[in-house]
Structure 1
């Protein structure tokens, strides 16, 4: 499945947050969106997964304008792992993951044996099967995020949107989550803060600053010292592993201001 944004804009509180962004995630590509805080990453993703309505432009799933699809139709094509997930009721972990089956069911249709097996498989994939009877709200932030990924996997879609999915995870589970998603050969669009994770997993990267697209390309094209200084206002050293060719970004502390006494 291909996902495409053509000139997408979005406004919040009268302010233009996303400004005429065009981007493309081809079938089975792992596409990252990076940029400083406030650059519009999450706002753009919210337009894609229909929490916000764009003020301009069009989003396509394959050749279908997203706005022409019902919410249920788009949920059968695209799953989401968002940053914040709150529930006011005491749902069990298994019940939360079972919510991922809703787009595939008719009104009032009961869960069947296939749904139960899909949910169990999703929990196995995120290494949380033993937590099925736990109350979701009692889990840690990192555990909750893995359950929300399991819910998305239970939707059995070909496109996955990840909105800063590793924020609450320790390093082991950051690597586990992104490696799992990468292996599944889905079309993935993800906002990431960690540039090393972007270097490790992304096939292609779009860079936002002040709501506008300011660069795009492969990790090798984008993750350059001069460009990262321009976008993030940080000094870095770029190291390329001789065997794997993978990029590693070392952050350098700010230099002391020579004008200070």
Structure 2
């Protein structure tokens, strides 16, 4: 699976939110999109997963222009886990996950035995199978987010978009969700707020500031105290844990 964007821009009136974004994601990489609030992370991802339409530019899935694909066709290629997931109806956890099978079904087609098997497998993968018959709205935020991830897994896509899915979760659930995603061995593009989380899980990172990409590379290449100061306006200490091949970022102050 390959996702490529060329010169993606998004405007609201005369305000330029995205100012020409180029990315190239392939080889089953876990790619992070980071940047301060208002940098355009979520706006960019919404353009990819079609909640927003770019003002200009091209988005390609496996060399096919996204605008040439139906919503159903693109939903067979990529699934989404976003930050907020509201449900105004009394759906069970199982029903929520079965919604992920919609792109694979014809209009009015009923759920098959295979659909239920996929639903059970997806819930088992996020350790939520025992909640299958619970009302979705009775779950905690962390539990709901795992169910939404299960719904995305039920789509059986080769790409997963994470639009800041862990911002409101306790650290336990942040790590739990990211561990599950990391093990999927599929293309992942994630907008991430926490720099240490990004350093732990991402193979490559794009850094956005004011609607532009200002840096790209591995966590080791991107997370320097100079770049973090430039982008986030904070002083940090960056330690490299060579034994565990990890980058740790400690915040000192802001200007």
TM-score by length of 2: 0.97
The alpha carbon displacement at 1:168 in A equals 2.5
The alpha carbon displacement at 1:13 in A equals 4.7
The alpha carbon displacement at 1:228 in A equals 0.2
State how far apart, in whole Å, the 2-side matches of 1:243 and 1:38 are. 36
Count of residue pairs the alignment pairs up? 255
Match of 1:30 in 2: 30
Is the partner of 1:52 in helix, strand or coil? coil
Alignment of 1:1-261 (within 5 A): 1-254=1-254
Q: Please tell me whether the aligned partners of residues 78 and 158 of structure 1 are also in contact (alpha carbons under 8 angstroms).
A: yes
State how far apart, in whole Å, the 1-side matches of 2:91 and 2:254 are. 47
State how far apart, in whole Å, the 1-side matches of 2:101 and 2:13 are. 34
State how far apart, in whole Å, the 2-side matches of 1:236 and 1:87 are. 40
Q: What are structure 1's unaligned runs of at least 5 residues?
A: 256-261
- 1:63-88 per-residue CA deviation (whole Å, 9 max, x = no partner) reads 10101000000000000001122222
- 1:222-241 per-residue CA deviation (whole Å, 9 max, x = no partner) reads 00001100000011101111
- 1:182-203 per-residue CA deviation (whole Å, 9 max, x = no partner) reads 1111100000011011111111
State how far apart, in whole Å, the 1-side matches of 2:127 and 2:13 are. 41
Residue range with higher mean Cα deviation, 86-95 or 170-179 = 170-179
State how far apart, in whole Å, the 1-side matches of 2:24 and 2:81 are. 19
Q: What are structure 2's unaligned runs of at least 5 residues?
A: none
Q: Please tell me whether the aligned partners of residues 39 and 209 of structure 2 are also in contact (alpha carbons under 8 angstroms).
A: yes
Is the partner of 1:253 in helix, strand or coil? strand
Q: Please tell me whether the aligned partners of residues 84 and 165 of structure 2 are also in contact (alpha carbons under 8 angstroms).
A: no
- 1:18-72 per-residue CA deviation (whole Å, 9 max, x = no partner) reads 1100011113010000000000000000000000000010000011010100000
Is the partner of 1:175 in helix, strand or coil? helix
State how far apart, in whole Å, the 1-side matches of 2:159 and 2:246 are. 26
Residue range with higher mean Cα deviation, 151-160 or 137-146 = 137-146
- Higher CA-based Rg: 1
Q: Please tell me whether the aligned partners of residues 233 and 254 of structure 2 are also in contact (alpha carbons under 8 angstroms).
A: no
Q: Please tell me whether the aligned partners of residues 145 and 168 of structure 1 are also in contact (alpha carbons under 8 angstroms).
A: no
The alpha carbon displacement at 1:166 in A equals 1.2
The alpha carbon displacement at 1:112 in A equals 0.8
State how far apart, in whole Å, the 1-side matches of 2:27 and 2:95 are. 31
